[in-house]
């Protein structure tokens, strides 16, 4: 099957593209700047402007839409909403038979900022005239690793649980869903275990041998409230990945650097990001109406 991948250089795209090639698909991927590779047909295209998108879709049978924009407080609608709308219009005109869209578990429980844009994009996918599957995933190990590495202070809320999942596990499930064809359903996929923030941060600090100051706080905002209630975790019947947070941090007994190659989070895939400049910065979720965390 000839497949177009958006966000192919991102956190999920990097393991997903080779998995699709290994599964026997003819993979075409878009990037905002020229790239080359023997196994992948790279095309220059920009979802925010529409440049090159229709040309990249010529002859494509399915689209794996992983691209997003969530970086340093910038508005995410240009790619996640308007870019998705543009992609759907072009895919419909090109006769694409299946669009698989990546979203986030629990976005309907905190539809603000980045989460709100993801929820709007889901609705566009459902109404876009192209047969579809929506895959909602919990936060990636890789994103959490980068997030913690960037923070000068670790704000720790013991009441907030996480169900992190490895992007490699998600990429394998993505290939399976693609082979099954469009389901017109919203699927969930989570990590193998639920872990509290204090344990998650403590494991990272030990594995990475880094000890920035830690501050016990209660995270405010609708995203944190939804996560605290467990609403951002996958349901009990949802499929789960195999790689735990501890296994990701120390594969085969060896710690991995936080970022061996910095992904293009801004334009491709990453998830809610942080650019810390002080304690008044947002700590998670790009939540509108954010207030500084209270110390406990």
- pLDDT band for 280, please (50, 70, 90 cuts): very low
**Element of type H or E holding 103:** strand 98-104
End-to-end CA distance of the chain: 54
Q: Is the pLDDT of residue 95 over 80?
A: yes
Tokens of 249: 């941090």
- What pLDDT, in 10s, does the model give residues 189-202? 999 999 999 999 99
Query: How far is it, in rounded angstroms, from Cα 51 to Cα 277?
Result: 34
For residue 285, what is the DSSP state?
T
Give exposure, 256-282, as e/b (b: 16+ Cβ within 10 Å).
eebeeeebbbbbbbbbbbbeeeeeebb
Mean pLDDT of 62-69: 95
Encoded tokens for 195: 């872990």
Q: What is the pLDDT of residue 160?
A: 97
Identify whether the C-beta of residue 157 lies closer than 8 Å to the C-beta of residue 197.
yes
Please report whether residue 107 resides in a domain.
yes
263 domain residue, yes or no: no
Q: How many domains would you assign to the chain?
A: 1
Q: In the structure encoding, which two tokens stand for residue 196, read together?
A: 């509290």
Is 158's pLDDT higher than 50? yes
- Whole-angstrom Cα distance, residue 211 to residue 267? 30
15 occurs within a structural domain: yes
Summarize pLDDT for 205-262 with one digit per residue, the tens. 999 999 999 999 999 999 999 999 999 999 999 999 999 999 999 864 554 444 333 3
Determine what percent of the chain is predicted with pLDDT higher than 70: 82
Strands 2-6 and 62-65: parallel
- % the chain with pLDDT above 90: 79
| pLDDT at position 69 | 82
Identify the pLDDT of residue 38: 87
Instruction: Please report whether residue 279 resides in a domain.
Output: no
144 assigned to some structural domain: no
Task: Report the CATH number at residue 74.
Answer: 3.40.50.720
pLDDT of residue 291: 37
pLDDT of residue 174: 97
Nearest residue to 143 (alpha-carbon basis) of 106, 170, 111, 120: 170
287 falls in which pLDDT band (50, 70, 90)? Answer: very low
Q: Is residue 38 part of a domain?
A: yes
- Let me know if residue 194 belongs to a domain: no
Domain enclosing residue 113, as ranges: 2-139+166-189
223 in a structural domain: no
């Amino acid at each position: 099957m000839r497949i177009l991948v958006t966000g192919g250089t991102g956190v999920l795209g990097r393991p997903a593209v080779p998995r699709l090639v290994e599964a026997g698909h003819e993979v075409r991927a878009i990037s905002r700047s020229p790239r080359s590779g023997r196994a992948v047909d790279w095309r220059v295209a920009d979802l925010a402007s529409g440049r090159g998108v229709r040309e990249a879709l010529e002859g494509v049978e399915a689209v794996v839409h992983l691209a997003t924009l969530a970086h340093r407080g910038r508005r995410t609608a240009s790619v996640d909403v308007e870019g998705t709308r543009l992609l759907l219009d072009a895919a419909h005109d090109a006769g694409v038979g299946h669009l698989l869209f990546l979203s986030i578990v629990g976005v309907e429980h905190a539809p603000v900022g980045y989460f709100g844009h993801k929820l709007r994009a889901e609705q566009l996918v459902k109404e876009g005239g192209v047969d579809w599957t929506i895959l909602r995933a919990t936060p990636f190990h890789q994103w959490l690793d980068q997030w913690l590495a960037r923070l000068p202070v670790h704000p720790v809320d013991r009441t907030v649980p996480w169900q992190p999942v490895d992007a490699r596990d998600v990429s394998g499930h993505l290939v399976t869903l693609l082979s099954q064809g469009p389901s017109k359903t919203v699927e969930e996929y989570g990590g193998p275990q639920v872990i509290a923030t204090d344990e998650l941060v403590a494991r990272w600090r030990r594995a990475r041998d880094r000890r920035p100051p830690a501050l016990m706080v209660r995270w405010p905002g609708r995203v944190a409230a939804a996560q605290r209630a467990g609403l951002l975790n996958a349901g009990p019947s949802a499929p789960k990945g195999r790689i735990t947070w501890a296994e990701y941090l120390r594969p085969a007994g060896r710690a991995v650097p936080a970022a061996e190659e910095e992904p293009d989070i801004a334009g491709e895939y990453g998830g809610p990001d942080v650019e810390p400049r002080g304690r008044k910065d947002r700590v998670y979720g790009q939540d509108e109406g954010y207030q500084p965390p209270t110390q406990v």
